[in-house]
């Protein structure tokens, strides 16, 4: 249900403009750090962790085990989303984002200090898994918080565009990880696997300091301030989300299956498929891992343009139309993409991965930035977005690597298996775009959920009294 009664924010107000800039910067740096961490871990899982932490296994099963350690971080994300999302709906968005950046970035830094299997045996993969769990727990509310923060700060008529801007940080983080990994992987093998791989993990500490400095100066969002002013903060947001908000969570999960799962399949599984640490476990002519990561790099550069463009288009043509275009594009792209990857041609591999990330994935991510917060009422928005994002992260992103690698191992490297898997994710998301109402321009001060209103249900106290200045 679209609500056009909200007045646009006064973007010519110096104070509002300054807060909008701070919110954009705070969200962008956090997104960059989260995806730098995750892209770094994903690239390492695809290309080197099987050698460093699972050297007791054969190369193909070592890749499966490395992706399993990658996947456990996703299992912790819904717990983190539940815990921090509840706090975010009760005490505000700002302080949750301060804590999550410390937890997530600290775990990543410690990974760079871990001894390997050769040094301490089985304790190496155990400690790696523990840190990955902590990383996932912190990340469980980080992106949801950035999404909600920007949607609640953005002017109504341009919410799709402004909400998408921090997600350029996702591409920046992925880009930084891919570039750093490409440079380091060009070093001699003994140097790269000996100590050089640790450098980007340890350097993430710098991003933590930058993010903390920015977020400590951030003001609370206008919509949460209105909740406080009218004493309408939810006492039990968990109860609310599982009784009233569940339809929105389910639809949100469906919307993210292709975007999240496809992202990790192109970034990580595809690299493992074509490179496999030079062993030729999946294809006859493995592509050099340093060459293959350039596909991720170029895809991230394309995404920096595609995300704000599709966010802007969703302001003009609606969230559903743009989102559906992206999911259908991925569905049509999937089978030729994986067949082309199986050929093992370096130039083709780079192009396929770049288009998969840059166009197929990010065409959905652009409108999603505003769409997910618009699905939920003001009292449980943070928790609703966190649950939709993080449960889908387990079902799509977490399984993408380990299940995809397992399918490749059991099918003797048949490209058709990951193609069918990715097509299934795209079909789920395409179907979900027909279940979600159009949310463009929805008043974020409403207390009811868009899906429930679309289904003809009424909520309690659907609209609270608000001041015109709060309608941002």
pTM over 0.85: no
| pLDDT higher at 53 or 30 | 53
Q: Residue 459 pLDDT > 50, yes or no? A: no
User: For 373-399, what is each residue's pLDDT tens digit?
Assistant: 999 988 888 888 988 988 888 888 777
Residue 7, domain member (yes or no): no
pLDDT for 1: 41
Q: Which residues contact 182 (CB under 8 A, 6 or more apart)?
A: 290, 293, 294, 297
* CATH number (domain holding residue 369): 1.20.1250.20
Average pLDDT of every residue of the chain: 81
Residue 2 in any domain: the answer is no
Residue of 31, 317, 44, 326 whose CA lies nearest to 164: 31
pLDDT digits (tens, 9 = 90+) for 351-364: 999 999 999 999 99
Residue 199 belongs to some domain of the structure: yes
pLDDT on residue 458: 44
H-helix segments, 2-153: 14-47, 49-52, 59-91, 93-111, 117-120, 123-153
Paired residues of 446 in beta bridges: 463
pLDDT for 328 equals: 97
> Is residue 47's pLDDT more than 80?
no
Q: How many domains does the chain have?
A: 1
Q: Answer whether residue 369 shows pLDDT above 50.
A: yes
pLDDT band at 149 (very low <50, low <70, confident <90, very high): confident
Q: At what angle do helices 246-264 and 416-432 cross, to 10 degrees?
A: 150
Domain containing 164: what range? 14-470
Q: Tens digit of pLDDT for each residue in 211-222?
A: 778 777 777 777
pLDDT tens per residue, range 200-209? 888 888 877 8
Q: Which residue has better confidence, 366 or 377?
A: 366
pLDDT at 427: 97
**pLDDT recorded at residue 358:** 93
Residue 240: inside a domain, yes or no?
yes
For residue 107, what pLDDT band results from cuts at 50, 70 and 90? confident
- pLDDT band for 367, please (50, 70, 90 cuts): very high
Say how far apart CA 392 and CA 255 lie, in whole Å: 9
Residues 367 and 433: their CA atoms lie apart, in Å, by: 12
Please count the other Cβ atoms lying within 10 Å of the Cβ belonging to residue 135: 27
Query: What is the reported pLDDT for 469?
Result: 35
pLDDT for position 456 = 52
- Predicted confidence at residue 471, as pLDDT, reads 39
């Amino acid at each position: 249900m679209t609500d056009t009664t909200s007045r646009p924010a006064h973007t010519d107000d110096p104070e509002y403009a300054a807060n909008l800039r701070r919110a954009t910067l705070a969200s962008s740096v956090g997104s960059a750090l989260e995806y730098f961490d995750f892209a770094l871990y994903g690239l390492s899982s695809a290309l080197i962790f099987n050698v460093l932490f699972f050297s007791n296994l054969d190369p193909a099963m070592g890749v499966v085990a490395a992706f399993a350690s990658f996947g456990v971080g996703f299992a912790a994300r819904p717990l983190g989303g539940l815990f921090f999302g509840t706090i975010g709906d009760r005490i505000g968005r700002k302080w949750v984002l301060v804590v999550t950046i410390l937890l997530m970035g600290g775990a990543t830094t410690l990974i760079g200090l871990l001894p390997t299997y050769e040094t301490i045996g089985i304790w190496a993969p155990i400690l790696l898994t523990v840190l990955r769990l902590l990383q996932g727990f912190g990340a469980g509310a980080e992106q949801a918080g950035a999404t909600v923060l920007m949607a609640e700060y953005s002017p109504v008529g341009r919410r799709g565009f402004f909400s998408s801007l921090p997600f350029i940080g996702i591409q920046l983080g992925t880009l930084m990880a891919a570039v750093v990994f490409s440079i380091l992987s060009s070093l001699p093998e003994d140097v790269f696997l000996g100590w050089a791989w640790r450098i980007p993990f340890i350097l993430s500490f710098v991003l933590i300091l930058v993010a903390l400095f920015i977020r400590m100066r951030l003001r609370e969002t206008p919509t949460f301030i209105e909740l406080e002013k009218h004493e309408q903060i939810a006492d039990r947001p968990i109860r609310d989300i599982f009784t009233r908000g569940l339809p929105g969570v389910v639809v949100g999960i469906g919307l993210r299956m292709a975007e999240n799962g496809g992202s990790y399949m192109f970034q990580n599984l595809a690299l493992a498929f074509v490179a496999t640490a030079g062993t030729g476990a999946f294809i006859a002519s493995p592509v050099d891992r340093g060459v293959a990561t350039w596909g991720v790099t170029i895809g991230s550069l394309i995404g920096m343009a595609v995300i704000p463009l599709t966010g802007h288009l969703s302001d003009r043509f609606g969230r559903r139309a743009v989102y559906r275009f992206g999911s259908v594009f991925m569905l049509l792209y999937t089978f030729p993409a994986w067949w082309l990857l199986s050929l093992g041609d370096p130039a083709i591999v780079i192009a396929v991965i770049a288009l998969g990330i840059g166009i197929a994935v990010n065409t959905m991510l652009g409108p999603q930035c505003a769409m997910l917060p618009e699905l939920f009422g003001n009292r449980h928005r943070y928790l609703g977005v966190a649950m939709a994002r993080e449960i889908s992260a387990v079902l799509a992103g977490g399984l993408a690597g380990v299940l995809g690698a397992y399918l490749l191992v059991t099918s003797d490297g048949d490209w058709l298996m990951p193609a069918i898997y990715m097509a299934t994710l795209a079909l789920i998301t395409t179907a979900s775009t027909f279940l979600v109402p159009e949310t463009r321009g929805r008043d974020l001060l409403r207390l009811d959920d868009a899906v429930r209103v679309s289904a003809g249900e009424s909520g309690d106290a659907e609209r609270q009294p608000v001041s015109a200045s709060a309608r941002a």
